[in-house]
A and B are shown apart, each in its own frame.
Chain A
């Protein structure tokens, strides 16, 4: 027998390694549960309130000695991934919520390598907590205690994201951290708006302090970005980053536009019109960014493009929330949008105003003749793991890059 054929036949034995029937069945069930919870949002939003696991009779028993946490984790490890995946839809007070936060999210963290990936993950976990808070509010179960717990969890994720962003920036990659912040700020403001309405209508105003905290975190995110942008000193880097950010903003806006179109039939005319108005603000910000690019006001273009991403993220998040919880809420207009939209293409530094663009524009002026102090990596993959920002992955090549989380 030809030795190549022999080799091939020998190696073919490796094909005998397969998932056992029990593993296959377990994984299949887990995957289906996952797919149904993380459903096709804009059309038949399967991640609706109906599918958020409701409390079971065991729940009250889990309000809850801390020793139970270890027990739940132990049970999860013994039973296997099925429990973990069933826990994905849990909210505070649910039987499996501890599994979700203590097991599932730690597993996700184990696969988030590097500061950029960790920052993205923490930003995503902020969003997860916000969605849980909305689910509780929609059920009328957002108590003052639950609000305080949520706020503390969100703060922890927010701070951790910011720590990783700072590490990313320490290596000269300002674009990655900015991508995380733009999306995160939009998400925070969107959920604050949704929660404000639910809080007044359903939750008896128990969530007021949480909403204030969410806005505080959004403001802190905005301030961190202002400071980060102001430290970028090299105009050459600024140009590359501005161009990359504008391109990304265009992709994000395209995806939100698609989401808006698909959601039209499922939203009230008024809700859709408000979402559309928000979306149009993002489009205007993008136009501003493009205009600034043409006049080589790169710092202004960079700032405006991030504004576009933030507003588009906000619009996209609100659409998702409206579809998920089926409530009609006003969009939060308490943003720094108006300030950002003041960024003119003439690149003239503004003084005396406490705005994000003030510092960035001033820095832009100062930087035009400066030497390279910062190595910005404008070409790096800067996508954020959210439904909105992920939109840029339209080719296999970029998919590969993005998947290396």
Chain B
């Protein structure tokens, strides 16, 4: 991996370049996971700080993009667990999780349109649709990120696509 034994400046460049390249994609992924723009932004930032810890310590990463998605996926899992453990209502009352789930309307009008259509789909279906059709990842890469087999992902994708097509009437 290119990060091995680079100095601080070089690593910072790689770090910020990675954010420029993948920041939006990770943000979208987080949005599909948590449906809350503020939380998704915080998660995106946290994903990259964890990435920096690995970059800084010269740890091996063969694929930065997959690595970032993996961190995000694990963070989302943690978030779900925490959400289950604590009452979400309680958190909303205390203001920890903002009730507002909309992001900047100028940038998300189209997203909201799609989201409205797929909102009742399972999160697993939504994420596989996003990663396949928007981020253009192959089933085997998605499988690696989500800790599933490529076959499982292909089956899930096929099912999710058909459901969406029914909704779209195509």
Q: Which of A's residues lie within 8 Å of B, judged by CB?
A: 3-4, 6-8, 10-20, 23-24, 27-28, 30-32, 34-36, 38-41, 43-44, 46, 81, 85, 107, 110-114, 117, 387, 390-391, 393-396, 399-400, 403-405
B134 near A7: Cβ-Cβ < 8 Å: no
Interface centre among A4, A28, A36 (most CB of B within 10 A): A28
Distance (whole angstroms) from the CB of B96 to the closest CB of chain A: 8
Q: Which residue of B lies closest to A5 (CB)?
A: B170
Q: In B154-170, which residues have CB < 8 Å from any A CB? A: 161, 164-165, 168, 170
A399 near B74: Cβ-Cβ < 8 Å: no
**Selected contact of A399 from candidates B27, B52, B70, B111, CB within 8 Å:** B70
- B90: Cβ under 8 A from any A Cβ: no
Given A11-B114, A114-B81, 20 further pairs, Cβ under 8 A:
A3-B165, A7-B165, A10-B168, A11-B164, A14-B28, A14-B110, A16-B107, A17-B28, A27-B23, A27-B41, A27-B45, A31-B19, A32-B12, A35-B8, A35-B15, A111-B46, A111-B82, A113-B82, A396-B61, A399-B70
Number of interface residues of B (CB under 8 A): 65
B56 near A404: Cβ-Cβ < 8 Å: no
- B103: Cβ under 8 A from any A Cβ: yes
A13 near B111: Cβ-Cβ < 8 Å: yes
User: Which residues of A sit under 8 angstroms from B46, Cβ to Cβ?
Assistant: 107, 111
User: Which residues of B sit under 8 angstroms from A34, Cβ to Cβ?
Assistant: 49, 52
User: Which residues of B sit under 8 angstroms from A4, Cβ to Cβ?
Assistant: 161
**Selected contact of B24 from candidates A13, A19, A391, CB within 8 Å:** A19
User: Which residues of A sit under 8 angstroms from B62, Cβ to Cβ?
Assistant: 396
Task: Report, nearest first, the 4 A-B pairs whose CB atoms are least far apart.
Answer: A17-B111, A13-B110, A11-B133, A3-B170
25 contacts between A and B (CB under 8 A): A4-B161, A8-B133, A11-B114, A11-B129, A13-B110, A14-B111, A15-B134, A16-B111, A18-B28, A20-B107, A27-B44, A27-B45, A28-B20, A31-B49, A31-B52, A35-B11, A35-B52, A38-B53, A38-B56, A39-B56, A40-B6, A40-B7, A396-B66, A400-B70, A403-B50
Distance (whole angstroms) from the CB of B47 to the closest CB of chain A: 10
User: Which residues of A sit under 8 angstroms from B49, Cβ to Cβ?
Assistant: 31, 34
User: Which residues of A sit under 8 angstroms from B114, Cβ to Cβ?
Assistant: 10-11, 13-14
* Cα–Cα, bound, A313→B60 (Å): 21
Distance (whole angstroms) from the CB of A374 to the closest CB of chain B: 25
User: Which residues of A sit under 8 angstroms from B129, Cβ to Cβ?
Assistant: 11
Q: In B63-120, which residues have CB < 8 Å from any A CB? A: 63, 66-67, 70-71, 74-75, 77-79, 81-82, 85, 103-104, 107-111, 113-115
Q: Which residue of A lies closest to B81 (CB)?
A: A113
A399 near B53: Cβ-Cβ < 8 Å: no
- B130: Cβ under 8 A from any A Cβ: yes
Given known A16-B110, A27-B23, contact A405–B130 (CB-CB < 8 A): no
**Selected contact of A18 from candidates B27, B59, B147, CB within 8 Å:** B27
Q: Which residue of B lies closest to A44 (CB)?
A: B8
Q: In B1-57, which residues have CB < 8 Å from any A CB? A: 6-8, 11-12, 15-16, 19-20, 23-24, 27-28, 31, 41-42, 44-46, 48-50, 52-54, 56-57
A7 near B67: Cβ-Cβ < 8 Å: no
User: Which residues of B sit under 8 angstroms from A41, Cβ to Cβ?
Assistant: 56
B130 near A81: Cβ-Cβ < 8 Å: no
User: Which residues of A sit under 8 angstroms from B107, Cβ to Cβ?
Assistant: 16-18, 20
User: Which residues of B sit under 8 angstroms from A8, Cβ to Cβ?
Assistant: 133
* Cα–Cα, bound, A27→B57 (Å): 22
B168 near A111: Cβ-Cβ < 8 Å: no
B165 near A111: Cβ-Cβ < 8 Å: no
Distance (whole angstroms) from the CB of A23 to the closest CB of chain B: 5
* Cα–Cα, bound, A45→B149 (Å): 41
**Selected contact of B15 from candidates A18, A31, A113, A390, CB within 8 Å:** A31
Encoded as 1 (CB less than 8 Å from any A CB) or 0, chain B from 133 to 161 comes to 11000000000100100000000000001
* Cα–Cα, bound, A281→B11 (Å): 33
B130 near A24: Cβ-Cβ < 8 Å: no
B67 near A399: Cβ-Cβ < 8 Å: yes
B103 near A17: Cβ-Cβ < 8 Å: yes
B111 near A39: Cβ-Cβ < 8 Å: no
* Cα–Cα, bound, A13→B147 (Å): 27
**Selected contact of A11 from candidates B59, B63, B134, CB within 8 Å:** B134
